[in-house]
Amino acid sequence: MEVEVTAEAKDKRLNRWVAITVVILSVSMGLGNIKDGNIVQAMQQAKADSVDRWGEYQATKTKTHIAETARSEIAILASALPSAKAAAAATLAETDAKIAKYRAEAPKLAVQAQGFADQYDALNVHDDQFDASEALLSTAISLAAVAALTESFGLIAASWAFGAFGLFMGICGFAGWAFHPDILSNFLG
C-alpha cells in the first residue's frame, strides 16, 4: 500500500509541474503571438512605404530625364529658329525650374525609401525573435506533454530548458534587445 501512495504522490507532483509549465509557456506564447502579429503588420507597412518611395524616386528620376531631354530640344529649336527665342526662353526657365525641383526631390525620396527599408530590417530582427520564441515554447510544451505520459523528470527538465530559451527570446522581442538567433534563423529561414 505504501508503495502505491508514494508512486501516486510522485505522479501528482510531476503532473503539477507539467501543468504549471504548460500554463506559463502557453500564456507566454499567446502574448508573444499578439506582439509578433503587430510587428508583422508594421513590417508590411514599412515594406509598402519603402516600395512606394522607391517608385516615387524612380518616377522623379524619369521626369528629370524627360525634362532634361525636352530642355535640350527646346534649346536646339530656339537656336535654329531665332523667331522662337523669346517663347523658348520662358519655356526653358519653366523647364529649368522643374529640373531643379526633381533634382532636389530625388535624394529626399531615396533617403525616405532607405529609412523605411531600414525600419523593415529592424522589425524583422524582432519578428525572428518571436518566431524563435514560438518554436522553442512549442517544443517545450510538447516535451512537457511527453514527460507527463512517460512520467519522466528528465523530459520535464528538457522542457524547462527549451522553455527558458523560448522565454528569453520572447523577452528580447518585447524589450527590443538586439539579440538575434542567427544560427536558428539561418537554419529555419
Please answer whether residues 169 and 129 qualify as being in contact, where contact means their C-beta atoms are separated by less than 8 angstroms: yes
Lowest-pLDDT range, 122-136, 146-160, 172-186?
172-186
Please state, in angstroms and rounded to a whole number, the distance separating the CA atoms of residues 31 and 166: 13
| Residue 9 in this model has a pLDDT that exceeds 60 | no
154: which residues sit within 8 A by CB, 6+ positions away? 147
Res 40: pLDDT: 96
pLDDT of amino acid 8 = 56
* pLDDT at 185 > cutoff 70: no
